[in-house]
Amino acid sequence: MNDGFAYIDRFAPGLPDPTPKFAGFPPFNFIGGHNDPEEIPRDALAEAASRVIRREGAALAMYNLGVGPMGYPPLRRFVADKLARHRGMAITADDVLITSASGQGIDFVCRLLLQPGDTVLAEEFCYAGAIGKFSRMGMNVVSMKLDDDGICIDALAATLAELKEKGVTPKFLYTIPTIQNPTGSILPLERRHALLALCKQYGVPVFEDECYADLVWAGGAPPSLYALAPDQVIHIGSFSKSLAPALRVGYAVAAWPVLSRMLSCKTDGGTGALDQMVIAEYFSAHFDDHIARFTAVLSEKLDTMVEAVAREFGTSVEMFKPKGGIFLWLKLPDQVDVRTLIKPAADAGINFNPGPEWACGGPAAKSYLRLCFALPSKENIREGVAALARVCFAQTGIPAFSDNSRNVA
C-alpha cells in the first residue's frame, strides 16, 4: 500500500545522498572511529550512573537540568581541569561549552564563520567528516602540506602569501595538531609557535580539533594551540575516543563572544544530560587510570596491526606509525588505486577507509588507506589484514610476497 505523498518529488534541493539501511558490521571492520568494546568500563559506568541518578536525578525534570545550556557544571569543571592538567590550558569551567560531541562543535564553528565561496585551510590528509562539511557548505578548501611531524611551516607560509597576493584571507585554519587524523602525527612545539605567528600575521583564526589528544602514547604532546594563544584559537574535543562514541558528548573552548554565538546555534534542547552526568561522575574519579589502561591496550593493538601489515604486505607498504589514537595510515605503491579494492574487499567481509575520502586532494591520495585498530580484536586484526592482502593481490598483483612467501594467482 502506498497512498501517501511521493516525498521523493518534494525533497529540498541539495540534500546529501540517501543512506542505505544499516546491514550490520562486516567480519573485518577497520572503518570509522569505533572504540574497543572490551574497554568500556561497564561496571564502573553502571555504578557512576546509579550514584549520580540517585543523587541528582530530580534535575532531569528540567531542560538542561535547570542550569542553562552550557552543560552540566561538574562536567564543565572536569573538562577545564583535564585541559589545564593535560593540555596546558589556563581556563575555568566558564570557558567550556558542552556539545553533542565534537561533530557539533565543527558544525557550530562552520555556521559562525563560513559563507559559500569562502576559503579555509585544512591539512592535506584530513578528517573526512570535516572535509565533507566544508565542501557541502561550498568552501574553497586549500590544503596544507604535511610531513611526519604535521603541517610544514614553510609551505604554509608560502600558501598564505600566495592567498594574500590574490586578496584572499582564509576564514580559518582547521588543524588536528595532536594525533592528526589520519596520519597520527603530533605537531612539535616550535611548529605550533610558528603556525600561530603566521596566523596572527595574516589574520587567520585557528580552529583546533583535539579529538584524539587524550590518547597519546608515552612521551606526551606539547600544549594545545589554545594554551599557547587563547585569543587566536577555537578549541574542540570529545569523549568519543577516550570513552565511548555512542555517548554523544564533546566540548568547545573559546572566548565568550564565540561561545555565546555557539550557544545561540545550540537549538537541540541540550546535550543528553544522562550522558554528561555519567561521564562527569566516572571521569572525575577515574580519568587518569582509565587513560593509562586504555592507551596501553591501544598501543598493543597497534603493534599487532603493524606486525600484521608488515607480514602480509612486506615492502609493498609504507606505514605512518601513529603517536597515539586508533588509526594506522598506509600507502601502497602508486599503481594501486585503493578505490578498486573497496567492492572486492567488502565481498570478502572487509571494510577499510580509502585515502581519497581522507584527503583534501581526493583522487591524489588513491594509494593511501586508513585502518582502525581499536574495534577489532588482535586475532581479528591478524586475520583481517591477511584477508585484505589477499584481495589486494588478487586485484593488483601486489603484494608479491606475504609472510615471506611469493603469492601465486
* 3-state secondary structure string across 275-323: HHHHHHHHHHHHHHHHHHHHHHHHHHHHHHHHHHHHHHHHHHCEEECCC
Distance CA(293)–CA(282), nearest Å, equals: 15
Determine, following the binding rule CB under 6 A, whether residue 124 of this chain makes contact with ligand PLP.
no
In the complex, what is the shortest distance from the CB of residue 404 to ligand PLP, in angstroms, rounded to a whole number?
35
Smallest gap from residue 408 Cβ to ligand PLP (A): 39
Please tell me the distance from the alpha carbon of residue 180 to that of residue 122, in angstroms, as a whole number. 12
Is 183 a binder of ligand PLP (CB under 6 A)?
Answer: no
Options 60-68, 96-104, 224-232, 298-306: segment touching ligand PLP (CB under 6 A): 96-104
Q: Which stretch binds ligand PLP (CB under 6 A): 99-107, 114-122, 251-259, 334-342?
A: 99-107
- The type of residue at 157 is A
Q: x/- binding map, residues 187-226, to ligand PLP, per CB under 6 A?
A: ----------------------x-x---------------
- Shortest distance in whole angstroms from residue 394 CB to ligand PLP: 30
Which of helix, strand or coil describes residue 233? strand
Size of residue set near ligand PLP by CB under 6 A: 14
Q: How far apart are CA 361 and CA 125, in angstroms?
A: 8
Q: What Cα–Cα distance (Å) separates residue 39 from each residue in 47, 123, 300? A: 16, 31, 13
Neighbours of 103 (CB within 10 A): 19
Q: Assess 240 for contact with ligand PLP (CB under 6 A).
A: yes
What is the nearest approach in angstroms of ligand PLP to the Cβ of residue 181? 4
Q: Are 329 and 320 spatial neighbours (Cβ–Cβ below 8 Å)?
A: yes
Q: Side chain identity at 48, as an amino acid letter?
A: A
What's the closest the beta carbon of residue 6 comes to ligand PLP, in angstroms?
34
Binding residues among 49-78 for ligand PLP as defined by CB under 6 A = none
User: Least separation, in Å, of the C-beta of 39 and ligand PLP?
Assistant: 16
List interacting residues with ligand PLP (CB under 6 A). 33, 101-103, 127, 129, 176, 181, 209, 211, 238, 240, 245, 250
